[in-house]
């Protein structure tokens, strides 16, 4: 909790619109600009990957060349020049991966401390194990040893590919195939790092696992890949946080996350996404085009996605659950805030395949300024998913009359014993609510933050404690300047 308080105070004390806009001055090792097979070979060689992995990357790359960028989403951005970016950047001193935190460049540690993720302190005090990913590489993973004693593997995916090749080969691409979609395929070709988690049978992972992503370099894309496997009867809670410096150009972040839950296993995946959103005029910011998908392979398995999306210039993201195992369940809780010129097209997919599968979708969208936001969600019930149930609630809140809030659910039901319910509302903060708060002495911006936090409560309370407080503050910060 000490770390959390630290984070909170930090956020509170720093002034200016985006709190993480600083750039760390670190010498870095970059691959040449552009994308081709040589770059992919370079990345694979840097990571000392097994041969099959390079082959897989190249297969993805060749497939990607045949694909076109999707255009169905309700967002607008100029064409991306995929040749005008670096696909690999690593802090130079990290050429030999540090064996312990003592070997990590102190400048890096200071960066993470600034971000509210003090790696050292965290290791000492908080019950959270952290993997810190800086541009293309993982720079530090805390609590690694302690976790491995219990049989939990928590390490950079590049390391996992060397140390646990069978596990990685078995599951990589098994939920999001290399050919899945434009951005996932690009990621399959060029992904640089990310976290790998394996929780053995019957173990309830005693601490929160967390990855903190940071884009630092200019003109680099970030393509991390996360793979989490929860074996029979295990439980794991995983947190993900993201920030990037304030820059005038747009940067691409195209990540892939794959989750696999076996019989009776449960995975809780929480994200607080606060990539740089661009300035008020829409200049700069991250393009956050992410594919996240979980497979509930086993009976009674459960996957829960919680996301708080406040950053990025453009977001395109649909964390999904494939409910294969009988009685498995998927949940999606989302708060998305768009302000100024931000755009987001986000939601989820719940695919009911097994019997008595359950899904629940709670989405809270807040749009302010000139921002445009769309909830897009699919609930699909296959003919054999007898007794399946879905409940969806989508609420949108508009702040100001220049923004947009849209809801596009797709409900496809082919099973008569299934029950699917969907509800959506659109509203705004009422003048009465605002005046009531003002009359109690609460300043307008705080009042808006308070009311919006109330609107999102159902989602925020699903976050682990450490993130919930931070997320609440973030809600307020994200909406600064949206009233008055």
Q: Where do contacts with other proteins occur on this chain (CB under 8 A)?
A: 72, 383, 396, 398-428, 430-433, 435-444, 446-447, 450-451, 453-458
User: Ramachandran region of residue 402, left (φ > 0), alpha (ψ -120 to 50) or beta?
Assistant: alpha
CB of 183 to other proteins, least distance (A): 19
CB of 280 to other proteins, least distance (A): 19
How do the residues of the chain divide into helix, strand and coil, expressed in percent and rounded to 5?
25, 35, 40
Using alpha carbons, select from 371, 373, 380, 427 the residue that is nearest to residue 403: 371
CB of 476 to other proteins, least distance (A): 11
Instruction: Report the distance separating Cα 135 and Cα 87, nearest Å.
Output: 10
Looking at the Cβ atoms of 261 and 420, the one nearer to other proteins is: 420
Instruction: Report the distance separating Cα 207 and Cα 166, nearest Å.
Output: 26
Contact 327, 299 (CB under 8 A): yes
Looking at the Cβ atoms of 76 and 99, the one nearer to other proteins is: 76
Beta-carbon count within 10 A of 446 CB? 13
Q: Give kind and range of the element (H or E) at residue 130.
A: strand 128-134
Crossing angle for the helix pair 465-478 and 2-13, to the nearest 10 degrees: 10
CB of 352 to other proteins, least distance (A): 12
Looking at the Cβ atoms of 70 and 202, the one nearer to other proteins is: 70
- The span from the first CA to the last CA of the chain, in angstroms, equals 35
Looking at the Cβ atoms of 52 and 436, the one nearer to other proteins is: 436
Looking at the Cβ atoms of 32 and 443, the one nearer to other proteins is: 443
Looking at the Cβ atoms of 69 and 103, the one nearer to other proteins is: 69
CB of 407 to other proteins, least distance (A): 4
Looking at the Cβ atoms of 209 and 437, the one nearer to other proteins is: 437
Residues 6+ apart with CB under 8 A from 178: 56, 59, 60, 63, 184, 185, 188
CB of 445 to other proteins, least distance (A): 10
List the beta bridge partners of residue 291: 256
Contact 429, 456 (CB under 8 A): no
Instruction: Report the distance separating Cα 96 and Cα 298, nearest Å.
Output: 39
Looking at the Cβ atoms of 133 and 452, the one nearer to other proteins is: 452
Looking at the Cβ atoms of 16 and 441, the one nearer to other proteins is: 441
Written as one string, the DSSP assignment of 28-74 is: EEEPPSS-SHHHHHHHHHHTT--HHHHHHHHHHHHHHHT------SS
CB of 430 to other proteins, least distance (A): 8
Looking at the Cβ atoms of 37 and 444, the one nearer to other proteins is: 444
Distances (CA, A) of 364 to 140, 257, 313, 443, 459: 34, 22, 19, 24, 8
Residue that the structure tokens 């082959």 belong to: 55
Q: What is the chain's Cα-based Rg? A: 21
Contact 364, 337 (CB under 8 A): no
Instruction: Report the distance separating Cα 58 and Cα 100, nearest Å.
Output: 33
Enter the tokens of residue 289.
């085009």
Looking at the Cβ atoms of 105 and 395, the one nearer to other proteins is: 395
């Amino acid at each position: 909790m000490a770390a959390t308080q630290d984070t909170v105070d930090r956020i509170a004390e720093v002034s200016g619109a985006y709190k993480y806009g600083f750039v760390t001055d670190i010498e870095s090792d970059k691959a040449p600009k552009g994308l081709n097979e040589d770059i992919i070979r370079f990345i694979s060689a840097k990571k000392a990957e097994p041969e099959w992995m390079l082959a897989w990357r190249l297969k993805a790359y060749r497939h990607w060349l045949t694909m076109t960028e999707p255009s169905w989403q309700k967002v607008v951005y100029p064409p991306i020049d995929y040749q005008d970016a670096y696909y690999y950047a690593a802090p130079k001193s990290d050429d030999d991966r540090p064996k312990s935190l003592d070997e990590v460049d102190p400048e890096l540690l200071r960066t993470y401390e600034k971000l509210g993720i003090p790696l050292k302190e965290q290791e000492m005090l908080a019950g959270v194990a952290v993997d810190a990913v800086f541009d293309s590489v993982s720079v530090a993973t805390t609590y690694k040893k302690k976790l491995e004693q219990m049989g939990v593997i928590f390490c950079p995916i590049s390391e996992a590919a060397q140390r646990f090749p069978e596990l990685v080969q078995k599951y990589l691409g098994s939920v999001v195939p290399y050919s899945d979609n434009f951005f996932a395929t690009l990621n399959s070709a060029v992904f640089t790092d990310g976290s790998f988690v394996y929780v053995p049978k019957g173990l309830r992972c005693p601490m929160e696992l967390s990855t903190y992503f940071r884009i630092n370099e200019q003109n680099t894309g970030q393509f991390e890949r996360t793979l989490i496997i929860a074996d029979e009867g295990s439980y794991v809670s995983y947190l993900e946080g993201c920030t990037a410096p304030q820059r005038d150009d747009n940067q691409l972040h195209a990540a892939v996350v794959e989750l696999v839950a076996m019989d009776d296993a449960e995975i809780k995946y929480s994200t607080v996404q606060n990539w740089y959103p661009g300035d008020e005029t829409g200049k700069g910011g991250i393009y956050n085009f992410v594919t996240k998908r979980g497979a509930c392979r086993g009976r009674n398995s459960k996957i829960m996605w919680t996301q708080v999306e406040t950053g990025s210039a453009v977001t395109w993201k649909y964390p999904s659950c494939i409910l294969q195992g009988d009685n498995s369940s998927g949940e999606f809780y989302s708060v998305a805030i768009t302000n100024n010129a931000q755009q987001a097209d986000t939601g989820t997919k719940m695919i009911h395949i097994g019997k008595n599968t359950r899904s629940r979708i709670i989405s809270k969208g807040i749009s302010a300024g000139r921002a445009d936001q769309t909830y897009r969600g699919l609930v699909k019930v296959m003919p054999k998913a007898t007794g399946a149930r879905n409940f969806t609630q989508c609420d949108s809140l508009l702040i100001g009359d220049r923004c947009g809030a849209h809801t596009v659910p797709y409900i496809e039901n082919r099973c008569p014993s299934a029950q699917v319910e969907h509800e959506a509302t659109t509203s705004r903060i009422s003048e009465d609510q605002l005046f009531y708060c003002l009359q109690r002495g609460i300043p307008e911006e705080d009042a808006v933050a308070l009311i919006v936090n109330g609107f999102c409560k159902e989602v925020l309370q699903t976050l682990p404690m450490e993130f919930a407080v931070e997320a609440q503050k973030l809600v307020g910060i994200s909406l600064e300047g949206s009233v008055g």
